[in-house]
A and B are shown apart, each in its own frame.
Chain A
Amino acid sequence: MRRITFLLLLFCFAAMTSFGGGYQVGLHSTRNTGMGLIGTSLSYDASTIFYNPGGTSFLNEKWSFSGGLSLIMARVTFQAKDVNYQAHLEHLLNTPFYFYAAYKATDKLSLGLAVNTPYGNRLSWGDTWQGRYLIQNLSFNAITVQPTISYKFNKIIGIGFGLVWSYGTVNLNKALPLDYSGGEGQLNIKGSTIGFGFNAGVMVHPIEALSIGIDFRSKINMDVRSASATFTVPAAVRSEFPDSKVEVSLPLPANLDFGASYNINKKFMIGINLCYVFWKQYDSLVFNFRTKTSALDRTATPALYQNRLIPRIGLQYKINQIVTVRVGGYYDPSPVQSDYLNPQTPSSNEIGLTAGLSVFPVKGFSIDAAFLYLMGTKRDGTYSPENFAGTYYSAFYIPAIGLTYSF
């Protein structure tokens, strides 16, 4: 019963914000969040279905469940270049969530299901701010469902594969510099779509204390074929801006992860992770208006993201049977070039520091908590296609809670 209420709660809060590079959310297990978001080489709970399906077959119990959510509090300050103007990102509370269930069908074969939110971006700068012709507010969510199969050849090596089905919604508002006596023009784009991808991984235990994982999550093309574009414009130019269907294409980039973890002794575990994100797949955000006029056509907003490698490190210490604590950290270099820094995804090189703990009131059940603090570096940038320049300075405060249960 408790589990069901918890699940319902999760779906109610299906909204998130990006932090760190671009619009990828890294919060898929409260335990892993506690130790620097590592996870590719770990198979200690059902979150392995997402982090590395090769590890799922290494789960010991018949049933494993894991669920939780994070609260992302983003604080971003913008100072315009050479203009006496500052803006703050509105304080939206964003809540990415995850739920995993794994079933050990045979000793070697496991089945799993992951439901989580690996990508998303939700932010609001307000309706009247200086950058309103680029973006006022944006909400982009992608919920993915991943049925997974995992096979363990022996004690040393296991593989896994999951099909990823993704449901995405987008809702974007921006102002248009078209003045009328009552105000100025406005554009809303709203739509949803589904996309497909896969998640494949290999887990290797060359010796009992060492675990090595490699995982690849494919690119998912989110092509919203029929979003609706609604214009609020002066009556005189209405015929140039008819409400129209619009195609929006946004790729969710592929990830290649490598992780290794080592149990120093019964209490201490150290892990590292290298995550390579194929951000170059995000070349531009394309809007293709179906009803074309001299003012409306196919427009590509250049993004020109760069591929990035994120190194992570984490430590876990089992104090006793009841309490386990974790710490970690990582460096997340921004995929955005300085002349393409857009207030839609203000992104800077960030250092993440994490801490977490798990409490096991009974064997097999834990309450997990974690806190992630992201220190953004102050960053000067211009979105050159629109000549929008300034300094962004960000910080993210992300508490997370979760439950893990296996039996």
Chain B
Amino acid sequence: MKKILFIILSLALFTSCERKISEYAADKGSANFTTYISVGNSLVAGYADGALYHDGQIYSCPNLIAGQLQLAGGGAFVQPMVNSNVGVAIYPGVSPRLVLGYAADCQGNVGLSPVPAQGAMDPLAPVGYAVNNFGIPGAKSFHLIIPGYDTMNPYYARFARGLGGPVVSEFINLHPTFFTLQLGDNDVLAYALAGGSRDSITNPALFYFAMKTVLGSLLATGASGVMANIPDITNIPFFTTVPYDGLVIARQSLADSINMAMGFYGLPFHYVAGANPFLINDPSSPHPYFKVRQMQPGELILLTVPQDSMKCMGMGIINRATQLPYPIPNQYVLTLAEIAQIKAATTVFNTIIDTLATNHHVGLVDINSTLKQLSSESGIVWDGVHLDATFVTGGAFSLDGIHLTPRGNAVSANAFISAINQRFGSKIPYVDITKYKGVVFP
């Protein structure tokens, strides 16, 4: 008996070897990833949670891409690092990074909410070394071609080398062999973030000229690369979290008294118990004095709307102090007309990007369709992680509602990698998205 057991066990040990599957064989295809630079705006910089901070940069989309390119001959990828996890003091009074915490609203209700992180920011100072990541928060397409941009944008001033010259003049000195370009978002986003009340959408002719110049200066270095198009920004949580009809009236009697007040002011709006549209400004209103109207389905309220004023001061309906109609200020609202402009501009810009990519044999990263998928009902599912464009719980967008979480950046990086592989016949493995966090809960 013992002998048999011994024989069986030794037989077992002898044969207990692992099954071998060959490891993923990364291959660079026709590309050369030796010196990779990334160019663009805040999405490139690793800006997240309303600030540029250390960990956001570590998980920036280009840094994740660079990590994968290193498996196929890619070199070091240097970023203009912020040392603080609270932010960098770009200008006095700049907001620190947001974290999820607990905050009391005007009614004293404590709830889960993005709150400013505690701690010290990095002072604003030049980093003093050459970088591979040219992600410049706030940069529009044409900003990269104007001389002296370092005097206008301190994010760029931190790492600018060729002082006084345009950003595009720096690329040649870095001898890049490969680039990713994600630019143009702010050409429409800046207008949208201002609720269409300030700023403006870039003129398409200027956009074309700027993008062509930026791309041309990258290609002039001898590098090859890919460029991303622009997502439909009206789908991001910054615009979709506060509903147009978020005015909830508890009782019919309350609705009746509001109806009476509106009638008194000569405003033909009807309120019911339950969800009602907020009141916004409307310069074209026929009313002699109150240039207001109710919001329409499809119109958007910005995440930055002062929610305490809405909850406790009557913003969006009737001012509790003056008892007068109290519309949400224009800078917090995107009307259907403004949305139409944004969508039309996005389409034009994407046509330009598509044409440039085709004409210059640059791979196209269809971030627009990635975001479309993310904001669809089913979202994006990867390795058991369900991501969508819902604020906080969706896991993809950081607490500013605009920029991505590390996990969202991983999804974005994979869209870039997919485009790189397609364009250059390379075999760059995807980022393992389960290694990266979504929104961090307290």
Q: How far is the CA of A180 from the CA of B439 in the complex (A)?
A: 8
**Set of chain A residues within 8 Å of B105, measured between Cβ atoms:** none
User: What distance in Å separates the Cβ of B137 from its nearest Cβ neighbour in chain A?
Assistant: 24
- In the complex, the answer to whether A75 meets B19 with C-beta atoms within 8 Å is yes
Closest residue on chain A to residue B437 by CB atoms: A179
Q: How far is the CA of A73 from the CA of B432 in the complex (A)?
A: 29
Q: Mark A221-257, 1 if CB is under 8 A from B, else 0.
A: 0000000000000111100000000000000000000
Closest residue on chain A to residue B386 by CB atoms: A177
- In the complex, the answer to whether B429 meets A88 with C-beta atoms within 8 Å is no
- In the complex, the answer to whether A373 meets B15 with C-beta atoms within 8 Å is yes
Known: A73-B16, A130-B434. Contact between A388 and B1, CB under 8 A?
no
Q: B71 on the interface (CB 8 Å rule)?
A: yes
Stretch at the interface among A98-106, A146-154, A394-402: A394-402
Known: A79-B21, A236-B100, A237-B441. Contact between A132 and B434, CB under 8 A?
yes
**Set of chain A residues within 8 Å of B383, measured between Cβ atoms:** 130-131, 133-134, 386-388
Question: Which residues from 394 to 415 on chain B have a C-beta closer than 8 Å to any C-beta of chain A?
Answer: 395, 407
Q: Mark B306-335, 1 if CB is under 8 A from A, else 0.
A: 000000000000000000000000000000
- In the complex, the answer to whether A386 meets B384 with C-beta atoms within 8 Å is yes
Q: Mark A377-394, 1 if CB is under 8 A from B, else 0.
A: 010000001111001011
- In the complex, the answer to whether B18 meets A77 with C-beta atoms within 8 Å is yes
Q: How far is the CA of A388 from the CA of B24 in the complex (A)?
A: 16
Question: Which residues from 1 to 17 on chain B have a C-beta closer than 8 Å to any C-beta of chain A?
Answer: 1, 4-5, 7-9, 11-12, 15-17
Q: B112 on the interface (CB 8 Å rule)?
A: yes
Q: How far is the CA of A76 from the CA of B21 in the complex (A)?
A: 10
Q: Mark B106-142, 1 if CB is under 8 A from A, else 0.
A: 0000001000000000000000000000000000000
Q: How far is the CA of A94 from the CA of B22 in the complex (A)?
A: 28
- In the complex, the answer to whether A399 meets B12 with C-beta atoms within 8 Å is yes
Q: B174 on the interface (CB 8 Å rule)?
A: no
Closest residue on chain B to residue A343 by CB atoms: B384
Q: How far is the CA of A234 from the CA of B100 in the complex (A)?
A: 11
- In the complex, the answer to whether B384 meets A83 with C-beta atoms within 8 Å is no
Q: B440 on the interface (CB 8 Å rule)?
A: yes
Q: B377 on the interface (CB 8 Å rule)?
A: no
Q: How far is the CA of A376 from the CA of B26 in the complex (A)?
A: 26
- In the complex, the answer to whether B442 meets A82 with C-beta atoms within 8 Å is no
Q: A322 on the interface (CB 8 Å rule)?
A: no
Known: A133-B383, A133-B384, A386-B384. Contact between A73 and B23, CB under 8 A?
no
- In the complex, the answer to whether A399 meets B442 with C-beta atoms within 8 Å is no
Closest residue on chain B to residue A82 by CB atoms: B430
- In the complex, the answer to whether A177 meets B21 with C-beta atoms within 8 Å is no
Q: B348 on the interface (CB 8 Å rule)?
A: no
- In the complex, the answer to whether B429 meets A83 with C-beta atoms within 8 Å is yes
Q: How far is the CA of A406 from the CA of B67 in the complex (A)?
A: 67
**Set of chain B residues within 8 Å of A77, measured between Cβ atoms:** 18-21
- In the complex, the answer to whether A387 meets B21 with C-beta atoms within 8 Å is no
Q: A320 on the interface (CB 8 Å rule)?
A: no
Q: Mark B335-366, 1 if CB is under 8 A from A, else 0.
A: 00000000000000000000000000000000
Known: A80-B432, A386-B383. Contact between A179 and B440, CB under 8 A?
yes
Q: How far is the CA of A399 from the CA of B7 in the complex (A)?
A: 10
**Set of chain A residues within 8 Å of B431, measured between Cβ atoms:** 83
Q: How far is the CA of A36 from the CA of B4 in the complex (A)?
A: 20
Q: B438 on the interface (CB 8 Å rule)?
A: yes
Q: How far is the CA of A265 from the CA of B312 in the complex (A)?
A: 97
**Set of chain A residues within 8 Å of B434, measured between Cβ atoms:** 130, 132-133, 177
On chain A, the number of residues with a Cβ less than 8 Å from chain B's Cβ atoms is 49
Q: How far is the CA of A390 from the CA of B351 in the complex (A)?
A: 36
- In the complex, the answer to whether A179 meets B441 with C-beta atoms within 8 Å is yes
On chain B, the number of residues with a Cβ less than 8 Å from chain A's Cβ atoms is 43
Q: B205 on the interface (CB 8 Å rule)?
A: no
Question: Which residues from 200 to 214 on chain A have a C-beta closer than 8 Å to any C-beta of chain B?
Answer: none
Q: How far is the CA of A88 from the CA of B23 in the complex (A)?
A: 13
Q: B382 on the interface (CB 8 Å rule)?
A: yes
- In the complex, the answer to whether B384 meets A388 with C-beta atoms within 8 Å is yes
Q: How far is the CA of A381 from the CA of B8 in the complex (A)?
A: 34
- In the complex, the answer to whether B381 meets A181 with C-beta atoms within 8 Å is no
User: What distance in Å separates the Cβ of B398 from its nearest Cβ neighbour in chain A?
Assistant: 12
Q: How far is the CA of A387 from the CA of B380 in the complex (A)?
A: 9
Q: A178 on the interface (CB 8 Å rule)?
A: yes
Q: How far is the CA of A359 from the CA of B112 in the complex (A)?
A: 71
**Set of chain B residues within 8 Å of A80, measured between Cβ atoms:** 24, 432
Q: Mark A56-89, 1 if CB is under 8 A from B, else 0.
A: 0000000000000001010111111011111010
Q: How far is the CA of A128 from the CA of B172 in the complex (A)?
A: 43
Q: B385 on the interface (CB 8 Å rule)?
A: yes
- In the complex, the answer to whether A84 meets B24 with C-beta atoms within 8 Å is yes
User: What distance in Å separates the Cβ of B86 from its nearest Cβ neighbour in chain A?
Assistant: 15
Which of A84, A178, A394 is B71 in contact with, Cβ under 8 Å? A84
Closest residue on chain B to residue A391 by CB atoms: B21
Residue from B22, B384, B440 with most neighbouring chain A CB atoms (10 Å): B384
**Set of chain A residues within 8 Å of B21, measured between Cβ atoms:** 77-79, 86, 378, 391, 393
- In the complex, the answer to whether A397 meets B385 with C-beta atoms within 8 Å is no
- In the complex, the answer to whether A399 meets B432 with C-beta atoms within 8 Å is no
- In the complex, the answer to whether B442 meets A84 with C-beta atoms within 8 Å is no
Q: How far is the CA of A84 from the CA of B395 in the complex (A)?
A: 23
- In the complex, the answer to whether A177 meets B381 with C-beta atoms within 8 Å is no
Q: How far is the CA of A402 from the CA of B172 in the complex (A)?
A: 76
Q: How far is the CA of A399 from the CA of B16 in the complex (A)?
A: 11
Closest residue on chain B to residue A394 by CB atoms: B19
- In the complex, the answer to whether B384 meets A134 with C-beta atoms within 8 Å is yes
Q: How far is the CA of A132 from the CA of B434 in the complex (A)?
A: 9
Closest residue on chain A to residue B24 by CB atoms: A84
**Set of chain B residues within 8 Å of A235, measured between Cβ atoms:** 441-442
Known: A134-B384, A177-B385. Contact between A88 and B18, CB under 8 A?
yes
**Set of chain A residues within 8 Å of B386, measured between Cβ atoms:** 177
Q: How far is the CA of A179 from the CA of B405 in the complex (A)?
A: 12
Q: How far is the CA of A345 from the CA of B355 in the complex (A)?
A: 48
Closest residue on chain B to residue A133 by CB atoms: B384
**Set of chain B residues within 8 Å of A134, measured between Cβ atoms:** 383-384
Q: Can you spell out 14 A-B residue pairs with CB atoms less than 8 angstroms apart?
A: A73-B12, A82-B24, A83-B431, A84-B71, A131-B383, A133-B383, A133-B385, A179-B441, A181-B442, A367-B4, A369-B8, A373-B15, A399-B8, A399-B12
Given contacts A130-B383, A237-B441, A386-B381, 4 further A-B contacts (CB under 8 A): A75-B17, A133-B385, A179-B439, A399-B12
The 6 A-B pairs at the shortest CB distance, nearest first, are namely A133-B384, A234-B441, A399-B8, A84-B429, A393-B19, A386-B384
